[in-house]
Amino acid sequence: MTTFDANTKGIFVNGEWREAKSGETEVVDNPTTLEKLTEVSNGDFDDATDAIDAAYEAFPEWSKMSPRKRSKILYRAYELMMEDVDRLGEILTLEQGKPLKEAKGEIKGAASFLQWYSEEANRIYGELIPASREGNRQFVLPQPIGVVGAITPWNFPSSMITRKCGPALAAGCTVVLKPAMETPLSAIEIAKIFEKAGLPKGVFNLVTGKAQEIGEAFLTNDKVRKITFTGSTEVGKYLMRESADQLKKVSLELGGHAPILVFEDADLETAANLTLASKFRNAGQTCICANRVYVQESIKEEFSKVLLEKVKQLNVGNGLNDGVDIGPLINENGTEKVQDHLNDATDKGARILCGGTKWDGEYEGHFFEPTLLDNITDDMKVMNEETFGPLLPLQTFKTEEEAIKAANNTKYGLAAYFFTENLDRTFRVSEALEYGMVGVNEVFPSVAEAPFGGIKQSGFGKEGGHHGIDDFVVKKLVTISGK
Ligand code: ADP
């Protein structure tokens, strides 16, 4: 069954679907089978410029529309997405590889951002500030920043888009979206949903195509006032450097290197289940996936036994099939990186408890077996660099102080997790971890109503919650002289 439109164009500018001006297309593969799914337009600088112009033209009307009306359109988009979860989930699995259950979960999560921001559109309040100069009045007026250039990754092809576009549109901004070329089909579906929901022409524009060129159009065009990016730290730093010239507002959701700390007072079953969920969902390809686990020495043996049994039970395969827990990695670079981290670890003395090879199954795609490693030392790559794959090292610690120090010993600061049943420790460790998000007996921080985002080299800016609106709003001070 073909769930997506075979004549997919991929460029949606000013309410019109069209080809790239150059006529070029790019093949979209299924990462499970490596078969071609379809082709989409390979847009470039010129296509992006058209989209920016359209967004710029649409801005005055959209920004002045009453929040209530904007809210209604976003809510309709939420409903349309929820009505189509099965088909959208299938498209997501086809182009990205994650198990269907996870894909449908992502679509529901993506829809929840539209719902939340349809509500939040009505609550972008200003401030009235009592003046020190007698008779004066002064107030702070929140206004949409303008045209937004959004750049999204392939690991969450749907929810990363709505997490950015939901608040941007709610605030009254207009948007040009550049999705990852590995997964443009989910982005195309979202554009169709916005179209159907009644978003006026030019308010949301989509350009699939050449990353460097579209990025350059965003960076060099003065009409773009804000760039919102989720992806690698390297590209994030590049975008920040290059946007300095026009002092664009930037928000960056970048890489992470999440630690999990398992204290001796933890509920081991919960800790093992959630460690598994954190590390192996999306085959380890999320920026908040656990990259390293530290277990208190006294429970190491017991914990690794419980965890090992669970890892061994994970099923690798085609995400469309029932009972599959782990799909393919997105491309060969993905498996090569996992292999490199694994080789580096075993060269330095790590022991493979299970897995340890590329999966030799019935599909051509880039699969890697879920792998658990023991005998870890801190100099291993896996303990310092983002693996983005199903490889999990188990390290030990003796004291809480030592665990916190190890957890914080990274340039990243996105998410960290720990397991404990002790209330004092819950507060102490939450406060001591240098991360934008901390999970206590919990590993899923990304929800519509709460602020997601990192510190240090994991970036800045928040997505989700009322905080998510701030990135798309500028605050104007109006001072009125009293007579
Ligand atoms: P990954 O290595 O996980 O693919 P990237 O940071 O390369 O992460 O990609 C995230 C998003 O950034 C994708 O949409 C990608 O096309 C885009 N991207 C990559 N390089 C650039 C660039 N130079 N300018 C703008 N966008 C880019």
Tell me the DSSP string of 359-418: --SSS-SB-B--EEEES--TTSGGGTS---SSEEEEEEESSHHHHHHHHH-SSEESEEEE
The response to whether residue 273 sits with its C-beta less than 6 Å from ligand 1 reads no
Residue 388 backbone dihedrals phi, psi, to 5 degrees: 55, 45
pLDDT average, residue stretch 453-471:
97
- What would the DSSP string read from start to end of 226-245? EEEEES-HHHHHHHHHHHGG
Query: Mean pLDDT throughout 131-153?
Result: 97
Residue 290 has pLDDT above 70, yes or no: yes
- Asked if the model's pLDDT at residue 472 lies above 60, the reply is yes
182, 235, 458: which to mutate for ligand 1, most atoms within 8 A of CB?
Answer: 235
pLDDT band, very low/low/confident/very high, at 239 (cuts 50, 70, 90): very high
In the prediction, which pLDDT does 196 show? 98
pLDDT at 437 over 80: yes
* Residue range 133-147: mean pLDDT, rounded: 97
Q: Is the CB of 152 under 6 A from ligand 1?
A: yes
Would you name the residues annotated as active-site residues? 253, 287
Provide CB contacts within 8 A for 19, sequence distance 6+.
9, 11, 25, 41
pLDDT confidence band for 360 (50 / 70 / 90):
confident
Ligand 1: distance of its center to the CA of 208 in Å? 12
Mean pLDDT of all residues in the chain? Answer: 97
Q: Tell me which residue has its CA closest to atom 17 in ligand 1.
A: 211
Enter the ipTM: 0.99
Of 26, 42, 151, 288, which is best to mutate to test ligand 1, by the most ligand atoms within 8 angstroms of its C-beta?
151
Ligand 1 pocket: which of 156, 221, 232 to mutate (most atoms within 8 A of CB): 232
Sign for the pseudo-dihedral over CA of 56, 58, 63, 68: negative
In the chain, the percentage of residues whose pLDDT exceeds 90 is 97
231 lines ligand 1 (CB under 6 A): yes
Q: For a pLDDT cut of 70, what percent of the chain falls above it? A: 99
Tokens of 133: 């100069």
Six token digits for residue 420 = 């404990």
153 lines ligand 1 (CB under 6 A): yes
Q: Which atom of ligand 1 is nearest to the CA of 155?
A: 3
The string of DSSP codes covering 403-467 is HHHHHH-SSEESEEEEE-S-HHHHHHHHHH--SSEEEES------TTS-B--EETTEE--BSTTH
Kindly state the tokens that stand for 174: 């207009």
User: Residue range 432-441: average pLDDT?
Assistant: 98
232 close to ligand 1 (CB < 6 Angstrom): yes
pLDDT at residue 483, rounded to an integer: 76
| 50 Cα to the center of ligand 1, angstroms | 21
- Does this model's pTM top 0.90? My answer is yes
Question: Ligand 1: which residue has its CA nearest to atom 11?
Answer: 153
Residue 248 three-state SS: coil
Q: What is the DSSP letter of 476?
A: E
For residue 181, give the ligand 1 atom closest to its CA: 16
Banded model confidence at residue 7, pLDDT cuts 50, 70, 90: low
CA atoms lying within 13 Å on the CB side of residue 259: 28
Two structure tokens written together for 376: 């870890």
Confidence of residue 4 (pLDDT cuts 50, 70, 90): low
pLDDT band at 249 (very low <50, low <70, confident <90, very high): very high
- Distance (Å) from CA 51 to ligand 1 centroid: 19
pLDDT tens per residue, range 212-229: 999 999 999 999 999 999
Residue 468 confidence (pLDDT) above 90: yes
> pLDDT digit string (tens) for 333-350?
999 999 999 999 999 999
Taking Cα atoms as reference points, which of 295, 288, 260 lies closest to residue 275? 260
pLDDT by residue (tens digit) across 172-209? 999 999 999 999 999 999 999 999 999 999 999 999 99
pLDDT digits (tens, 9 = 90+) for 46-56: 999 999 999 99
pLDDT per residue over 61-110, tens digit each?
999 999 999 999 999 999 999 999 999 999 999 999 999 999 999 999 99
Distance CA 419, CA 398 (A): 15
Q: Is residue 285 lining ligand 1, measured as CB closer than 6 Å?
A: no
The pLDDT of residue 1 is above 60: no
Q: Helices (DSSP H) in 183-331: which residue ranges?
A: 184-197, 211-220, 233-243, 268-280, 300-312
How far does the centroid of ligand 1 lie from the alpha carbon of residue 189, in Å?
20
| 434-442 average pLDDT score | 98
385-389 mean pLDDT: 97
Ligand 1 geometric centre to CA of 248 (Å): 18
The alpha carbon of 387 and the centre of ligand 1 are apart by a number of angstroms equal to 17
DSSP string across 255-272? ---EEEEE-TTS-HHHHH
Give the mean model confidence (pLDDT) for residues 431-449.
97
